[in-house]
Amino acid sequence: MSTIGTNPTIQGSRVALVTGGSGGIGRAVVERLADDGFALGVHYAGNQAKADETVAAVKAAGGRAIAIGGDVADEGAMSAAFDAVEAEFGGIDVVVNTAGIMLLSPIATLDLADLDRIYRTNIRGTVVISQQAARRVRPGGAIINFSTSVTRTQFPGYGAYVASKAAVESITLILARELRGKDVTVNAVAPGPTATALFLNGKDEATITNLAAAVPLERLGQPTDIAETVAFLAGPARWVNGQVIFTNGGLA
């Protein structure tokens, strides 16, 4: 965090809203964009303390940030969240939607209540955030959604989660084309196995070791690895649009 705000090319000039920005990949994205001089809206769903901690870290390093809460699938709450960021910083240039849930089960025994929870957050939430972003992101900006590399690997147990992320990819690619002429890029990042609490939860050591070994680089990804791809899409990647970027160390 020591380099926050030191990139002279965009220092102090851009604003980003990161959903799920209080932990895991979301926090790494917040810190990376802060390094590039972005002012940040740090969204949280339920853990305000973690969001406040993230905001405090950005501010301590000389950056600008506010915490904003709400359910990403609630259009009223998210409209208010976007309003708060615009009121604080004057507009929004980049929206990064990392918020999501992952509940694993074989399809044959899937609890349909879990299916509804996954779809509400991952699909409806993506639509709600994409609607607000499409209406508000300034020209020259970017909308970045999150998928998963398991849409390619088809790991057993991931059926409902992967179905939701396949929907995210479709929403993303269509929105990119619907925003023709707006000078706003729309892309999705699809991480591979990444060492976050969300990914590691419920997995034994052997499973984690096998997943790391499946990657040609022979390690799990780190949240900072994913954040680098987001920073690329949020900044210099103006000719990358309507794409799903698989950031997974070469996982097939």
Q: What is the pLDDT of residues 6-36, one digit of tens each?
A: 443 343 489 999 999 998 999 999 999 999 9
| Contact residues for 118 (Cβ-Cβ < 8 A; gap 6+) | 101, 102, 103, 160, 161, 164
5 in a structural domain:
no
Give the pLDDT of residue 23. Answer: 87
CB atoms within 10 A of CB 12: 12
Bin 91: left if φ > 0, else alpha if -120 < ψ < 50, else beta. left
10 in a structural domain:
no
8 in a structural domain:
no
Give the pLDDT of residue 13. Answer: 80
4 in a structural domain:
no
Tally of domains within the chain: 1
Tokens representing 29 are 């994205």
Sign of CA dihedral 130, 48, 87, 91: negative
Give the pLDDT of residue 3. Answer: 47
6 in a structural domain:
no
Give the pLDDT of residue 8. Answer: 35
Give the pLDDT of residue 86. Answer: 98
Give the pLDDT of residue 252. Answer: 76
133 in a structural domain:
yes
| Active-site annotation holder among 44, 119, 158, 161 | 161
158 is catalytic: no
pLDDT tens for the chain, 252 residues long, are 444 444 433 434 899 999 999 989 999 999 999 999 999 999 999 899 999 999 999 999 999 999 999 999 999 999 999 999 999 999 999 999 999 999 999 999 999 999 999 999 999 999 999 999 999 999 999 999 999 999 999 889 999 999 999 999 999 999 999 999 999 999 999 999 898 877 777 778 888 888 888 899 989 999 999 999 999 999 999 999 999 999 999 987
CATH number, position 40:
3.40.50.720
The pTM (predicted TM-score) of the whole model is 0.92
Contact between 191 and 149 (Cβ < 8 Å): yes
Q: Is 244 helix (H, G, I), strand (E, B) or coil?
A: strand
DSSP 2-29: TTTT--TTTTTT-EEEEETTTSHHHHHH
113 in a structural domain:
yes
Give the pLDDT of residue 205. Answer: 87
Give the pLDDT of residue 10. Answer: 40
171 in a structural domain:
yes
Which residues span the domain enclosing 81?
15-246
Give the pLDDT of residue 64. Answer: 97
